[in-house]
C-alpha cells in the first residue's frame, strides 16, 4: 500500500443517457446504456482525468416511465469485464443486489473481474431500492427495509468467507514437482446462517486485491451501520455543507464503533456539475434541459426517491407530509428537508430532482465548480465525489478538460496514478487472509 497526501477521490457515476432526465436530447449528446463505444469513451475519459473509479448503478426491473438511463442497460459485471480490456488504471465498480443474488455466484463474478482487471474491481452493495424487482424473482413482495439490510449483512459476511477460500499462493501449478494446488491453503467456509447456507470453497483463487473494494450507500439508521461496518467507500445524497459534515462525523463515529480505521472509509457524495463559460451560461444549459424534460418521467423519478406515488398531489402546492419511505429512506429525508428549507412546490422539487435524482448540483465556470468541490473536501465533509454528468459525452468531457486541471493545479487531484490497483488509488490496505494474520500473530507471540 502506498501512503498518499490527502487527495480528492473521484468516481464517474455512469448512467448511459446522462443523469438529467433530458440529457440525451441535448444536441451533440449521445445516449444508450447499451452503447459500448460511448461507455468505452467515458471510461477512457475518466482514466485520462485520473479518476479513481468508473461506477455502474443497477436495478432488476424496468418500465417505460423510468429514468431514460435505467429502462434498458447492460448487466454491470459483464460490461465492466469488457471495459477492463480497454482501460488500465480506472477502478471498475459494479452494483449487485444482496436481495436478489446468491453469494456463491456473485463472489465468483466479482472475483473474476478483479482477476481480469489486475485488481480494479469494486462492489456497490445494494439491498435493492426498487420493489418491482420482487416479481422477477418469484417473490410476492419486496422484503421489508430492515429485513433487506439484515440479509445484506449476512450476504457480505458470506462473500468475504468465500473470498477467503484460498490463501495467496494456493495454486502453485508447479510442473516440476507436479503440485498443482496446495490444499493446505484451502479453507471451507461451511456457513449456516438465518438466510444462507453456503459450504464453499469458492472455485476461484484469491484475487489481486484480496477482496474487491466494498461500497455502500445506506443513509437510514440500519443502512449507516451496514456501511460503517463494511464499506470502504460510502456514497451519499447530501445538499448542504452542514448536513454533509454531520453525516461525515456520524459515519466516522460508527466506523470507530465497529473497530475500523476511519481512514479506510472514503465518503463520496454525489454531485452533478454543469460547466459553463460563466455561471449564467451554465444556468442557461440547465434551463434548456428543463424545457426538454418529460413531466411524467420527472414525477416518477421523484416518486421513486420519496417512496410514494405523487400523481394525486397538486404540483403547485408544497410537498405534503408523507409517511417514511420503505425504499430509499436517505433520499427521502434529504429531499423533504430541501423542499421545506427552500419552500419548494412539488413542481419545483420535481424539476430539481430531474437534474441529478436529488443529488447536489454545482453550476458555473470551472473555477466556481472547483471552489464548490474544494469547500466540502477542505472541511472534511467529503473525501471525494461521485460525479454525475447531466449528459454524455460533452458534460463529462467538459469536466475532465476544464475542471480537473484546476483541481490538479490546486494539488487536490492526482496528476498521475501512483499504484495499479483500486486499493492503491484509494490508499486502502489489501486485506490479509485470516490464516496469514493468525500465523503472523502466532509468530509474534
Ligand atoms: C450514489 C448512489 C448509488 C446508488 N445505486 C443504487 C443502485 O444501483 N441500485 C439500487 O437499488 N440502489 C442504489 N442506491 C440506493 C442505496 O443502495 C440505498 O438504497 C439508498 O441509499 C437508501 O438507503 P437507506 O434506505 O438506508 O437510506 C444508490 C444510492 C446512492 C446514493
421 lines ligand 1 (CB under 6 A): no
Task: Enumerate the domain spans of the chain.
Answer: 9-273+360-444
Q: Tell me: the pLDDT tens digits for 39-63?
A: 999 999 999 999 999 999 999 999 9
- The answer, yes or no, to whether residue 327 has pLDDT greater than 90, is no
pLDDT of residue 4: 62
Based on the number of CB atoms within 10 Å of its own CB, is 190 exposed (0-12), middle (13-18) or buried (19 or more)? exposed
Q: Judge whether residue 1 has pLDDT over 50.
A: no
Task: For residue 333, give the ligand 1 atom closest to its CA.
Answer: 27
Ligand 1: nearest atom to the Cα of 126: 17
pLDDT score for 382: 98
The closest-lying atom of ligand 1 relative to the alpha carbon of residue 328 is: 22
Q: Take residue 34 and report the three cell numbers written for it.
A: 447499451
Contact at 8 Å (CB) between 235 and 270? yes
Determine the pLDDT at residue 207: 97
Question: Is the C-beta atom of 217 inside 6 A of ligand 1?
Answer: yes
| Rounded Cα–Cα distance for residues 192 and 407 (Å) | 49
218 lines ligand 1 (CB under 6 A): yes
**pLDDT value at position 2?**
47
Kindly tell me if the per-residue pLDDT of 339 is higher than 80. Answer: yes
Q: Where in 144-300 does DSSP place strands (E)?
A: 191-192, 197-198, 213-216, 233-236, 266-275
> From the CA of 234, how far away is ligand 1's center (Å)?
10
Most informative mutation of 234, 326, 328 for ligand 1 (most atoms within 8 A of CB): 328
Pocket test for ligand 1, best of 57, 215, 243, 270 (most atoms within 8 A of CB): 57
Residue 88, pLDDT above cutoff 80: yes
H-only helix segments in 271-413: 279-291, 295-306, 329-341, 346-356, 366-378, 394-398, 404-409
Report pLDDT digits (tens) over 106-163.
999 999 999 999 999 999 999 998 899 999 999 999 999 999 999 999 999 999 999 9
Architecture in CATH for domain 9-273+360-444: Alpha-Beta Barrel (3.20)
pLDDT mean over 320-324: 88
| Mean pLDDT of the 434-441 span | 90
In whole angstroms, what separates CA 164 from the centre of its chain?
A: 24
Mean pLDDT of the chain: 95
With a 6 Å cutoff on the Cβ, whether 129 touches ligand 1 is: yes
The ligand 1 atom at the shortest distance from the C-alpha of residue 237 is: 31
- The 10s digit of each residue's pLDDT in 304-319 is 999 899 999 999 999 9
CA distance 272 to 367: 15
Amino acid at each position: 500500500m502506498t501512503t498518499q497526501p490527502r487527495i480528492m477521490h473521484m468516481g464517474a457515476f455512469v448512467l448511459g443517457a446522462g443523469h438529467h432526465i433530458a440529457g440525451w436530447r441535448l444536441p451533440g449528446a449521445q445516449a444508450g446504456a447499451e452503447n459500448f463505444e460511448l461507455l468505452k469513451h467515458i471510461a477512457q475519459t475518466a482514466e485520462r482525468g485520473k479518476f479513481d473509479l468508473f461506477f455502474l448503478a443497477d436495478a432488476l426491473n424496468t418500465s417505460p416511465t423510468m429514468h431514460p438511463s435505467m429502462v434498458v442497460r447492460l448487466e454491470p459485471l459483464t460490461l465492466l469485464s469488457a471495459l477492463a480490456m480497454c482501460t488500465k488504471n480506472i477502478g471498475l465498480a459494479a452494483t449487485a443486489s444482496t436481495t436478489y443474488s446468491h453469494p456463491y455466484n456473485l463472489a465468483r463474478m466479482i472475483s473474476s473481474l478483479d482477476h481480469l482487471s489486475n485488481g480494479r474491481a469494486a462492489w456497490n452493495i445494494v439491498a435493492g431500492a426498487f420493489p418491482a424487482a420482487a416479481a422477477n424473482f418469484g417473490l410476492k413482495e419486496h422484503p421489508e427495509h430492515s429485513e433487506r439490510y439484515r440479509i445484506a449483512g449476512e450476504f457480505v459476511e458470506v462473500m468475504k468467507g468465500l473470498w477467503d477460500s484460498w490463501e495467496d499462493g494456493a495454486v502453485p501449478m508447479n510442473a516440476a514437482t507436479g503440485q498443482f494446488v496446495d490444499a493446505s491453503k484451502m479453507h471451507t467456509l461451511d456457513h449456516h446462517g438465518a438466510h444462507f447456507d453456503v459450504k464453499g470453497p469458492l472455485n476461484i483463487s484469491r484475487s489481486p486485491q484480496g477482496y474487491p473494494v466494498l461500497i455502500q450507500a445506506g443513509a437510514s439508521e440500519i443502512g449507516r451501520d451496514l456501511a460503517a461496518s463494511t464499506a470502504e467507500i460510502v456514497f451519499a445524497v447530501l445538499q448542504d455543507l452542514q448536513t454533509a459534515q454531520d453525516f461525515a462525523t456520524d459515519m466516522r463515529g460508527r466506523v470507530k464503533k465497529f473497530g475500523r480505521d476511519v481512514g479506510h472509509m472514503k465518503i463520496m457524495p454525489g454531485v452533478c456539475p454543469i460547466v459553463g463559460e460563466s455561471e449564467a451560461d451554465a444556468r442557461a444549459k440547465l434551463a434548456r434541459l428543463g424545457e426538454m424534460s418529460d413531466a411524467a418521467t420527472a414525477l416518477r423519478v421523484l416518486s421513486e426517491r420519496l417512496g410514494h406515488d405523487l400523481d394525486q398531489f397538486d404540483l403547485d402546492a408544497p410537498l405534503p407530509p408523507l409517511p417514511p419511505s420503505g425504499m430509499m429512506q436517505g433520499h427521502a429525508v434529504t429531499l423533504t428537508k430541501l423542499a421545506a428549507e427552500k419552500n419548494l412546490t412539488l413542481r419545483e422539487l420535481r424539476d430539481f430532482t430531474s437534474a441529478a435524482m436529488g443529488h447536489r448540483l454545482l453550476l458555473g465556470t470551472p473555477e466556481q465548480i472547483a471552489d464548490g468541490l474544494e469547500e466540502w473536501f477542505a472541511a472534511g465533509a467529503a473525501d471525494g465525489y461521485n460525479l454525475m454528468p447531466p449528459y454524455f459525452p460533452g458534460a463529462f468531457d467538459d469536466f475532465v478538460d476544464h475542471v480537473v486541471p484546476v483541481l490538479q493545479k490546486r494539488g487536490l487531484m492526482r496528476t498521475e496514478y501512483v499504484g495499479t490497483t483500486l486499493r492503491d488509488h484509494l490508499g486502502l490496505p489489501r486485506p490479509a487472509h485470516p490464516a496469514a494474520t493468525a500465523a503472523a500473530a502466532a509468530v509474534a507471540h
